[in-house]
Chains A and B, each alone.
Chain A
Amino acid sequence: MARIQLENISKAFGKVQALDGISLDVKDKEFFVLFGPAGAGKTTILNCIAGIVMPEEGVVKFDDQIMNLTDSAHRNVAMVFENYALYPQMTVYDNMASALRSKLYKADESVIKERIQWAAKIMKMENLLERLPSQLSNGQKQRVAMGRALVRNPNVFLMDEPLAHLDAKLRNSMRTELKEMQANLGSTCIYVTHDFMEAMALGDRIAIIKEGKIVQIGNGDAIYYMPCNEFTAQLMGDPEINLIEAEITGTGNPYSVQFRIKDEQIVLELPEDNGVYAKIRELGLKKIHVGIRPQNVKYSFEPKEGYFKASVYSYESIGNKSVIVADCGDVFHNQLRMIAPNGLNVAIDSDVYIHLQLDHAIFFDPESRKYIVRYDEAAYIALAAAQEER
């Protein structure tokens, strides 16, 4: 059980700056997620905490104690990897006991047994203890790998994409199980993933990592509703958020956004919102990027008031709902994504009429691509703060 702090950690591999001034403060018993695309440096951060990689600059602290010079065996961290790393010739029980039987711990067999039974219960694998790894499914193997980490009662669990190996369905059900176990874990956990659903569902807080730097830290609601830039907004959500380049017109009484779709000029009035209007006025914005999530784009197959015309590029199920991608000419990077129910009779390349629910929009600066403001910002700040308190 420990508070884990990183202060200004930097690390280069040859010419590649893997980490560039990373600072984190993970609270005791917090479930902290490092989230970002492949190659962002997430695993390197874990390795710095574990003592596998030595940072060139910066300090790693466990409970205010500097750990830089402590070797990894004595940091008492437990790692769980994507590829399980189980001993194939040992039963599940022996795999789980292996760390405690090592020279470092030499725990009593009765203590080992007690710990294993406790861990096996949490991981729901009491019936697997006598099996060999080859007799386990992939989901079970990962459960054993986690159980093995649990047995040691470590300062911190470091989990590196533990579910990435599993197929989509199993990954989702394992994630739900992990969520259930979380409450019984009672330990600090740092979890690396590139799956936004895992990040959202599991993380008390999430750090978004890009190119060795921290982009944003916050809880799921804060990051989802108030992403600090377009990069984060695009990462959080599937299908991806729509970003529309628009010009702001009007006097503030009201303001409108104006954009071109194919050869047509579309002008949409911005719904009144004190926060949004004040920001536009204050910054004297002329151009803006409007971010709208696919569930806030409505469609019709008949012409309708307040809807503009585009054509269907694709209509595909993504499980319990479908996505219509509309071809919108040059703007919107050609495409606009929207959520629709399954089972519609939609012909490819047919006409579709689109309505943007601008009162859910998130606005970004077209130059810096950074967050400016969103609708109902105060309400979402309150929502995120309420989550923080839990």
Chain B
Amino acid sequence: MAGLTLNHVYKRYDNSGKKKKVKNDFAVKDLNLVCEQGEFVALLGPSGCGKTTTLRMVAGLEEITQGEIYIGDRLVNNLHPKDRNIGLAFEDYAMYPPLNVYGNVAFNLRAKKVDKAEIDRRVREIAPLMQIDDILDKMPVKLSGGQKQRVNIARAIIREPELLLMDEPLSHLDGKARQAMRTEIKRLINKIKCTTVYVTHDQLEAMSLADKIAIINFGVLQQFGTPAEVYDDPVNEFVASFIGEPPMNILETTIIKKDGMFFFTFKDSNLQIAVPRRYYSVVSDGFRCKMGVRPMDVMIGGENSHGTPEEIATFENLGDERRIGIHVGDILLMLITEDEKRYKRGDIVKLEVREEKTHLFDINTGDRIREKN
């Protein structure tokens, strides 16, 4: 059974008063999404892409302009948020300052007049899960950001919701606290197996937490798939460059034919990369498109390499790995290596590209160009 279904969902913010017609004024446009029961789905996109709007529609905090939303098999379009059986955890903790942690976690159950002993049992059950058992007596002002977010999430899950909604719960936290909290969230969801929708603009968070990622841009769903799918098989240039750090190198290219073989060539550069055979059916001599290749699939060749000689523009030693930038026309082509060798700006190296890992994108639309079967 599906945990959450979005069926042709639209959202237009009604700015009554301003009658000006703006083009493409949908905050969310024809969104179709099916999250399976117990699945952890991340809504990922740049700020303003409509991911939070989507979450708020699911929560019932925002009206749905058009389309249907089902939680389980219940149509919830006209249900009040409190009747939707959802747990919410937002970036801001919004705790009740006069109540201690216990009181905050228990608050919703008390409001529902749940039996006192039952409340106590549930708080004690959840506290160790969120590692807040030793701070139950503390007041919110005494808590660190990480602890506050733990309490916040505990509050959301104590109601045993059918659906858990989280909106950037980690963005208030700094580096290490954030990483630790990410691990905790992952373990928690794994344990309680609650269908979860998680909004983030951080691709790394989405990649490391989610079973599936919905990538949204300008209110339109771009791709919905597992982390491996969106990383290895992006549907367009936007997804390709949004997922991964450093991002995929994307270069404009003109394909030329030489001795019966096709090569990618680049403006103001000697670099030539063989076009993988599988694309031979879709390219031609003089074909213009964009070529994408991930920094891990670009390498510095050894002494006997047949790679193109290129000059190093940047060399960054990051300890665990090294990043090298090489100018191809006016684009800085990045590569990552764990090789121990130290280079410096100006060194000439032989550049190799794993041709079979290159992607082709339409030069105008950015859509992926795929081989024909």
Contacts and interface: CB of A to CB of B under 8 A. Distances in A.
Interaction A to B: yes
Contacts of A220: 317, 319
Interface in A189-234: 196-197, 200-202, 220-221, 224
B44 to A, nearest CB: 13
Interface residues of A, number: 40
B183 interface: yes
B345 A183 contact: yes
Given A180-B325, A313-B183, A342-B228, A319 B316 contact: no
A238 interface: yes
Which of B207, B227, B336 has the most C-beta atoms of chain A within 10 angstroms of its own C-beta?
Answer: B207
Contacts of A295: 320, 338
Contact of B183 (A183, A196, A201, A316): A316
Given A180-B313, A200-B317, A317 B227 contact: yes
State the main secondary structure of chain A at its contact with B.
helix
A200 B320 CA distance: 10
B23 to A, nearest CB: 21
A126 B202 CA distance: 30
Interface string B291-305: 000111000000000
Given A169-B245, A176-B334, A196 B319 contact: yes
B204 interface: yes
A325 interface: yes
A318 interface: yes
B37 interface: no
Interface string A101-122: 0000000000000000000000
A167 interface: yes
A293 interface: yes
A179 interface: yes
B107 interface: no
A180 B187 contact: no
A387 B342 contact: yes
A3 interface: no
A274 to B, nearest CB: 21
A379 to B, nearest CB: 10
B204 A383 contact: no
A334 interface: no
Given A316-B182, A318-B204, A237 B319 contact: yes
A135 interface: no
A366 to B, nearest CB: 23
Contacts of B316: 175-176, 179, 197, 200-202
Contacts of A153: none
Interface in A325-343: 325, 342-343
Interface in A30-65: none
Given A179-B314, A236-B319, A343 B325 contact: no
A183 B244 CA distance: 28
Interface string A141-176: 000000000000000000000000001110011011
Given A200-B318, A220-B317, A169 B247 contact: yes
Interface in B202-233: 202-204, 207-209, 227-228, 231
B190 interface: yes
A316 B186 contact: yes
A322 B183 CA distance: 12
Interface in B227-283: 227-228, 231, 244-247
A175 B332 CA distance: 13
A167 B323 CA distance: 19
A348 interface: yes
A67 B332 CA distance: 41
Given A169-B245, A320-B245, A343 B319 contact: no
A333 to B, nearest CB: 12
Nearest to A202: B316
Contact of B332 (A172, A180, A322): A180
Contacts of A177: 332
A348 B184 CA distance: 12
A197 B314 contact: no
Contacts of A378: none
Interface in A367-386: 383, 386
A390 B207 CA distance: 39
Given A316-B182, A316-B208, A318-B208, 20 more contacts: A169-B246, A176-B332, A176-B334, A180-B325, A196-B319, A201-B316, A220-B319, A236-B319, A237-B320, A238-B320, A295-B338, A313-B183, A316-B183, A316-B186, A316-B209, A318-B204, A319-B204, A319-B207, A342-B228, A386-B342
Interface of B: 182-183, 186-187, 190, 201-204, 207-209, 227-228, 231, 244-247, 294-296, 313-320, 323, 325, 332, 334, 336, 338, 342, 344-345
10 contacts: A172-B245, A197-B318, A201-B323, A220-B319, A238-B320, A293-B320, A314-B187, A319-B245, A342-B228, A343-B227
Closest CB pairs A-B (n = 9): A201-B316, A316-B208, A224-B319, A317-B208, A314-B183, A317-B207, A343-B228, A179-B314, A319-B245
